[in-house]
Amino acid sequence: MKLLAGSFAFLMAVFFLLILQEFFPPVLSLHGARIVLVPMVFCYFALAAPAWTMLLAAVYTGFFTDLMYLHFVDGQVEIGLGWSIVFFVLFGLFAHGFQPAFLRGRWWLHVGLTALGTCSFLALQYAMISFRREGLILNELVAWRILAPGLVAAVLAPFVHLLVVQCRHFFPEITQEPGRYRSPR
């Protein structure tokens, strides 16, 4: 029941965060960088969930992310459908490798992996757009728009962890210790 409730909460969070992050304006003090929240939530789920659930979540997250960023310029697709699925599967497998340490209480792993995942996601998006436009421009503005959202996500990552820990108190079956079994009687 714990896995089902957590998976449903994750699916709803990804859906609503994709919509919510579109309403955040670019942060002018970060040179117009946008706030990207979905890789942060996916990273937490990849660290906390079993491998098969994480892979299904990666497909779900990648598919909806691709649909959100799908756009055409002069009749050409700049960000192709399906590449985010591959990114989230590979990143999820990488993050899932840190799960034993995360489950032993090293919650701060989520912060570093969130920054890495968000920056990697944006860098790959920029590379895809650049190759489609046949020109790669690297300057300070591009660096700000790739690195700043990763830093913002890293700052927000502990709050995601605290939110998940606080929500466990609303579900009695979630709060039990992993090694303790409570009889249904």
Read out DSSP for the chain? -HHHHHHHHHHHHHHHHHHHTTTSPPBGGGTTBPP--HHHHHHHHHHHS-HHHHHHHHHHHHHHHHHHH--EETTEESS-TTHHHHHHHHHHHHHHTTHHHHHTT-TTHHHHHHHHHHHHHHHHHHHHHHHHTT-----HHHHHHHHHHHHHHHHHHHHHHHHHHHHGGG-TTTSS-TT------
Instruction: Give the pLDDT score at 139.
Output: 85
Q: What is the pLDDT of residues 2-47, one digit of tens each?
A: 777 778 888 899 999 999 988 988 888 888 888 899 999 999 999 9
User: Taking 70 as the threshold, does the pLDDT of residue 170 lie above it?
Assistant: no
How far is the C-alpha of 6 from the C-alpha of 102, rounded, in Å?
Answer: 17
- Among candidates 36, 7, 53, which has minimal Cα distance to 174? 7
Are residues 55 and 49 in contact, defined by beta-carbon separation less than 8 angstroms? no
Q: What is the pLDDT of residues 110-144, one digit of tens each?
A: 999 999 999 999 999 898 888 887 778 888 888 99
Whether pTM > 0.85 for this model: the answer is: no
Q: Write down the mean pLDDT value for the chain.
A: 84
Q: Average pLDDT, stretch 56-78?
A: 85
- Among candidates 134, 153, 127, 126, which has minimal Cα distance to 36? 153
% of the chain exceeding 90 in pLDDT: 42
Q: What is the pLDDT of residues 95-109, one digit of tens each?
A: 999 999 988 888 889
% of the chain exceeding 70 in pLDDT: 90
Rounded (10°) CA dihedral 158, 163, 166, 169: -140
Q: How many CA atoms lie within 13 A of 139 on its CB side?
A: 4
Instruction: Give the pLDDT score at 41.
Output: 93
Cβ-based neighbours of 64, under 8 Å, separated by 6 or more: 14, 15, 18
